[in-house]
Structure 1
Amino acid sequence: MSSLGSEIRRWSSLVKTKASQHILGVEFSPDIVAITMVYFVQGILGLSRLAVSFFLKDDLHLDPAETAILSGFSAFPWLVKPLYGFISDGLPLFGYRRRSYLVLCGLLGAVSWGSLSALVTDKYGAVAMIFLSSLSVAFSDVVVDSMVVERARGESQDTSGSLQSLCWGSSAAGGIISAYFSGYFVQTYGVRFVFGVTSLLPLITSAVAGLVQEEPAWNIQASGTADDLRVDFRSDGVFQSAKKQSLRLWRTVREPTIFLPTLFIFLWQATPSSDTAMFYFTTNKLGFGPEFLGRVRLITAMASLAGVGVYNSLLKHVPLRRMFFWTTLLGVGLGCTQLMLVNGWNRSLGISDEWFSMGDSLVLTVLGQVSFMPVLVLAAKLCPPGVEATLFATLMSISNGAGVLGGLMGAGLTQLLGVSSHNFDNLAVLVLVTNLSSLLPLPFLGLLPPESQLPDAVDRAEKALNDMEEAKRE
C-alpha cells in the first residue's frame, strides 16, 4: 500500500512539472488529470451496457416489462444527485470532501461489477448490484463536477468551455473504446467475462483520487479559512451541517438570478421525444439487427467526441443566448430528416436505410453534443462558492428530470397517435410534432442573463445568501 502511495505521489510530482502545458486550452495539472480520468472511466463503463442487456434477457430470462422496470430503478441514483452534492460539500469523509469519496466510489463500482461477474444468479441480486454500480458512477460524477465548477467560477466563457470540452471529450473517448469492444467481447467471451473486465475499470477512479489537490478539512478549520459549511463533528454537528447546507442551497436556488436560468434549462430539455418509437420502427419495420445497431453506437460515440471538438474549436466564444437559438433551429431542421427514413424517401434517392440511418445519427449526435455543451457551461457558471457540488448536481438533476418528462410526453403522443410496435402509420406525424416542439422554449431565452452579466448574477446571489446568514447570526 505504501509503495502504491509513493507511486501516486511520484506521478503527482511529475504532473506538476507539466503545469505550464495546456490541453484544449486548459492548464495541465494533477487535478485536471484526475478529472479527465474520472470522466474517461464514466465513458468506458459503457463496455457493460450490451452485456447487461443480454444478461437480463438470456441468463435471467426476464421479460421486457421486468427489464424496463429494472432499467428505470437502476437510473434512480441519477435523479437524486443533489443528495450526493450535499454529502460531498457538507460532510468530509476522513477529512476530505473530494478525494475520499472518489476512492469509495471506485471501490463500490468494482465490488458491484465483480459480484455480477461471479456471484449474482437471480434478478434480485442483479437489481442490487446494478443499482450500486449506478450509484458509484452518479456519486463520482457529482464529486468531479464540483471540481470542474470550482475551476470554472470566475473564468471566461472560453476557459470554462474548454474545461467542459475536455471533460466530455474524455467521456466520449471512453465511450468510443467501449462501443468498439463491447459487442465482440459479449459474443466471444460471454457476459460474465465482460462484467469481470468492467470491475477493474472503477479502480482507476480510486487510483487517481490521490492526484486531487485538496487540503484536509481539519487543517482548514484550524486556520479559520473555511466557510460556514465546515463540519462540526461534536454531538449534533453533522445534523447542523446538513441543515445549514440545505438552507444554503434553498436560499441560492430561489434567487431570481439563479432560478430563472434554471427554469430555462428545464423548459429547453422538457420537450417530447420520438426516440422510442423510432427504435421500434428501425428494428421491427426496417429489420435493423443488434450487430448493426452496435455499429451505429460506435459511430455516435465518435460523433459525440467530434461535437465536443467543434464546440471547443469554433463555438465556445459564442454568447449562450445565440448558441441556444441557432442550435435549436438547426436541430429542428436536421431532426426532420428522419421523415425521409420513415417515408422511405431515402430509397428513392438511392440511399439504403442502413447508410441513411448511420449518416443521420452521426449528424444529429454532433449537433446534440454541440447544443448540450452550453447547458453545462451555463450550469457551471451559475454556481456561487460554498454549494458548488450541490447546486451543480441540482441543475443537472433538473435537466435529467426534464429529459424524463420529455420522454413521458413523447410516450403520451405515441399512444395518442396510435403508434405501436407494429403500427407506424402516424409515425411521420409524431416525428414532425416532436421536432417542432423543440421551438417552444425559444420565447423564454430572455430568462438567460447576457453573458457579460453572468458574473454579476452569481455575485448577487452570493451576496444575498451571505446577507441572509449575517442577519440570522445577528
Structure 2
Amino acid sequence: MLIHSSGLSKVKDSVIKKILLGNEPKPELMAILVVYFVQGILGLARLAISFFLKDELHLSPVEVSVLLGIVALPWMIKPLFGFISDGLPIFGYRRRPYLVLSGILGAAAWVSLSTLAYSTWVATIAIALSSLSVAFSDVIVDSLVVERARVESQAQVGSLQSLCWGTTALGGLITAYFSGLLLEYFSTRTVFLVTAIFPLIISLVAWFIHETPVNKDIQQQPDQTHPLTITTQIKQLGQAFTQKAIWIPTAFIFIWQSTPSGEAAFFYFFTNELHFAPEFLGRVHLVTNLASLIGIWIFQSYFKSVSFRIICGWSIVISAALRMTMLVLVTHTNRALGIDDHWFSLGDSLILAIMGQIAFMPIMVLAARICPLGIEATLFSLLMSIFNLGGAISKEIGAIIMHWLGITDTNFDTLWILVIITNVLALLPLLFLNFLSDTEETNIKTFPANSVNN
C-alpha cells in the first residue's frame, strides 16, 4: 500500500512538473504565477473600459487612442519602480511589501473608477492608477523570473517565460467571454467594482515570496555594505547599453512596436458600424486568448531554438499580410462573398493572435537572456519600458493618422486607408533586420553587484 501510494505521488509530481514545463512547484513559483494569472484576469474590465469611454464619456476614436497612450505611462517608467523597490526597502523588505501595496492600489483604482469617474480627467487618473498597480507588481515578479531564467539550461530555454505568459493568457482566457457577457446584464461601473476584488489576491500571495531582510543580507555578505544605489545602477545600465548585443536588439524591438495602430478606430467600427454586441466581443477575446495559448505552445514545441532574427522577419511579413485581410471587412467585401461579419472577424482574430504570440515570445526570451549578471532586474524592466513606450507611440501615431483621415465614431469612409497605411508601415522594421545578429549570452559582459567602473 505504501509502495502504491509512493508510486502515485511520483506520477502526480511528474505530471505537475510537466504542466509547469519542468519547473519545480515551489510555493514562491506558484505565488509568482498567481500574480501573472491575476494580470490576465484583469482583462475582465477591458471591454467595459472601451464601452465606458465610448458610451458614457462620449469620447471619439482619436481621443480614446490618445487617452490609452497616456494611461500606459506607468509601463514606460518601470525602471523607476525597480529603483524604488531596490533602494527603499519597507521594514527591510524590497519585494513583498510592494506587492501588497500594489494590490491595494489596484483595488482602490477600480473602486474609484466605479464610483467617482464622471469626467474624462478623473477616469484617466483612475485607469492610470490601475495601470500603475499592475506595472509595479509586474516589475517585482519579472525580476524574480529573470533571476531564474538566467540559469536555465539550453533544453529549458524560454520555459519559465512561456509558463508565466501562458498563465497570463489562461487568466485572460477564463475571463474573456465574461468580459462581454457581463455587459449584457450589468453596467460598466458594476464590472469595475467586480474587477476591484482581483488585485487584492496579489496582496495575499505576496507573503509566499521568499525574501531575506536587507539587514540580514548585509550581515551575511560583509563585502557588500549596502544595496545597490540608484547612481550605481544607472552607471551599470550605461555600461550595458554600450554593448551591441544589447542596444541593437533593443532598438529593433522599439522600432517594431512603434509602428502605428488603428485599434481604437476598429473598436468603434465593430460596435457602431457592424453593431457587434458586447457578448460577441467577449467571444472574440475568448478566441484570441485561446489562440495566445496555442501560440505559446507552438513556440515552446517548435520555435524556441529558432533564431530571433528569423522568427521576427517571418512574423512581421506574415502578420502584415494577414492584417491586410481587414480590408475585406471594412469594405464589406466579405458580405458579397457570402461570409458573415461575425465569422470573418473571429477567424481573422484567431490567426493573428497565434502569429502575434509566436512573435512575442522570443522577444521576452531575448530580453531576459541579454540582461547581464548583476543588473538583470533593472535592465529587464528598462527593456520592457522601451517595449511599452513603443506601444504608446504606436497609439499616438495612430491617433494622428485617424485625425488626418477624418475618422470619427460614425465616419469610417477612410478606414480602408488606415488599414493600408498601418500595415505598410508595419513592414518598416524589415529594413533593420540585417543589423540584428543572433545574441549569444557569452558575448554579454557581467556586472558584479559591488563593482562598477568609475
Q: Give the shorter-chain TM-score range.
A: 0.7 to 0.9
Give the deviation of 1:295 after TM superposition: 2.3
The answer for the alignment partner of 1:390 in structure 2 is 378
Could you tell me which residue of structure 2 aligns to residue 432 of structure 1? Answer: 420
Q: Would you say the 8 A contact 2:111–2:193 is kept in 1?
A: yes
1:120 matched to 2:116: yes
Q: Relative to structure 1, is the Cα distance of residues 264 and 227 closer, same or farther in structure 2, using a 3 angstrom cutoff? A: farther
Question: Is 1:273 matched up with 2:261?
Answer: yes
User: Residue 17 of structure 2 is aligned with which of 18, 21, 24?
Assistant: 21
Distance 1:190 1:275, change over 3 A: closer
Question: CA separation in 2, counterparts of 1:333 and 1:71?
Answer: 26
Greater mean alpha carbon deviation, residues 260-269 or residues 298-307: 298-307
| Pair 1:62 & 2:42 matched | no
Where does the alignment leave 5 or more consecutive residues of structure 2 unmatched?
1-8
Residue from 191, 196, 202 that aligns with 2:199: 202
Distance 2:267 2:279 in 1: 14
The 1:183–1:334 alpha-carbon spacing in structure 2 relative to 1, beyond 3 Å, is closer
Is the contact made by 1:327 and 1:371 (CA closer than 8 Å) also made in structure 2?
A: yes
After superposition, what is the alpha-carbon deviation per residue over 1:159-201, rounded to whole angstroms, capped at 9, x for unaligned?
A: 2422111111111111122222233334434445433432221
Structure 2 CA distance for partners of 1:375 and 1:228, relative to 1, 3 Å: farther
Displacement of 1:328 in angstroms is 1.7
Change (3 A) 1:275 1:73: closer
Asked whether 1:38 is paired with 2:35, we answer yes
- The alignment status of 1:322 with 2:310, answered yes or no, reads yes
TM-aligned CA deviation for residue 50 of structure 1: 3.5
Say which SS state the counterpart of residue 447 (structure 2) adopts.
helix
Listed as ranges, the gaps of 5+ residues in structure 1 are: 1-13, 232-240
Partner of 1:176: 173
Q: Distance in 2 between matches of 1:82 and 1:419?
A: 36
Q: Give 1:72 shift.
A: 4.4
**Contact 2:181-2:282 at 8 Å conserved across structures:** no
CA 1:100–1:266: 2 relative to 1, 3 Å: same
Partners of 1:148 and 1:168 in 2: CA distance = 11
Pick closer, same or farther for the CA change 1:229–1:147 going to 2, 3 Å. Answer: farther
Q: 5 Å matches for 1:41-190? A: 41-53=38-50, 61-64=56-59, 71-117=68-114, 120=116, 122-123=118-119, 126-156=123-153, 158-190=155-187
Give distance in 2, aligned partners of 1:448 and 1:144: 28
Contact 2:102 2:134 in 1 (8 A): yes
Aligned match of 2:322 = 334
Please state how far the C-alpha of 1:288 moved relative to its aligned partner: 2.9
Partner in structure 2 of residue 354 of structure 1 = 342
Distance verdict in 2 for CA 1:189–1:267, change over 3 Å: closer
Q: Distance in 1 between matches of 2:373 and 2:446?
A: 10
Q: Once structures 1 and 2 are overlaid, which stretch shifts more, 66-75 or 156-165?
A: 66-75
Give distance in 1, aligned partners of 2:415 and 2:113: 39
How far apart are residue 69 of structure 1 and its match?
6.2
CA contact 2:110–2:130 (8 Å) conserved in 1: yes
Q: Which amino acid aligns with 1:327?
A: S
Match of 1:237 in 2: none
In the alignment, the residues of structure 2 paired with residue 57 and residue 344 of structure 1 have an alpha-carbon distance, to the nearest angstrom, of: 23
Query: 364-373 or 284-293: which moved more?
Result: 284-293
Residues 416 and 67 of structure 1: is their aligned pair in 2 closer, same or farther, counting only changes over 3 Å? closer
| Partners of 1:303 and 1:363 within 8 A in 2 | yes
Change (3 A) 1:36 1:337: same
Question: 1:306 aligned to 2:303?
Answer: no
1:212 aligns with 2:216: no
**Contact persistence 1:342–1:428 (CA under 8 A):** yes
1:379 corresponds to which of 352, 357, 367: 367
Contact 2:178/2:282, CA 8 A, preserved across alignment = no
Cα distance change on mapping 1:268 and 1:70 into 2, 3 Å: closer
Q: Which amino acid aligns with 1:165?
A: S
Give the letter for the 1:104 counterpart: L
Q: Which residue of structure 2 lines up, in the alignment, with residue 294 of structure 1?
A: 282
Percent identity over the alignment is 50
Q: Deviations over 1:287-316 (max 9, x none)?
A: 334333232222222222222222122221
Tell me how far 1:367 sits from its aligned partner.
Answer: 0.7
Paired letter, 2:443: A
Query: Does the 8 Å contact 1:56/1:62 carry over to 2?
Result: yes
Distance 1:428 1:157, change over 3 A: farther
Q: CA deviation at 1:349?
A: 3.1
Q: Kindly provide the CA deviation profile for residues 313-334 of structure 1, in whole angstroms up to 9, marking residues without a partner as x.
A: 2221212121112212221222
Distance in 2 (CA, whole Å) between partners of 1:28 and 1:242 is 34
Whether the 8 Å CA contact 1:89–1:388 is kept in 2: the answer is no
CA distance in 1, matches of 2:412, 2:52: 30
* Contact persistence 1:274–1:430 (CA under 8 A): yes
CA contact (8 A) 1:86 1:246 kept: no
- Counterparts of 1:174 and 1:322 in 2: how far apart (Å)? 30
| TM-score w.r.t. length of structure 2 | 0.86
Partner of 1:3: none
- Residues 406, 228 of structure 1: alpha-carbon distance in 2 compared, 3 angstrom cutoff: farther
One-letter amino acid of the counterpart of residue 42, structure 1: Q
**Quick one: which amino acid aligns to residue 81 of structure 1?**
K
In 2: Cα distance, 1:449 partner to 1:50 partner? 39
The Cα of 1:109 is off from its aligned counterpart by 1.9
Q: Is the 8 A contact 1:43 1:172 kept in 2?
A: yes
Root mean square deviation, CA, Å: 3.0
Worse-matched range after superposition: 81-90 or 35-44: 81-90
Contact 2:107 2:199 in 1 (8 A): yes
Change (3 A) 1:184 1:92: same
Query: Is 1:229–1:386's contact at 8 Å kept on the other side of the alignment?
Result: no
CA drift of 1:158 comes to: 5.0
> Alpha carbons of 1:413 and 1:212: their partners in 2 closer, same or farther (altered >3 Å)?
same
1:413-452 Cα offsets, whole Å, 9 max, x none, are: 444555555554544343233223222212323433425x
Q: Matches of 1:261 and 1:138 in 2, distance apart? A: 23
SS at match of 1:148: helix
Does structure 1 conserve the Cα–Cα contact (< 8 Å) formed by 2:37 and 2:167? yes
Q: Is the 8 A contact 1:88 1:389 kept in 2?
A: no
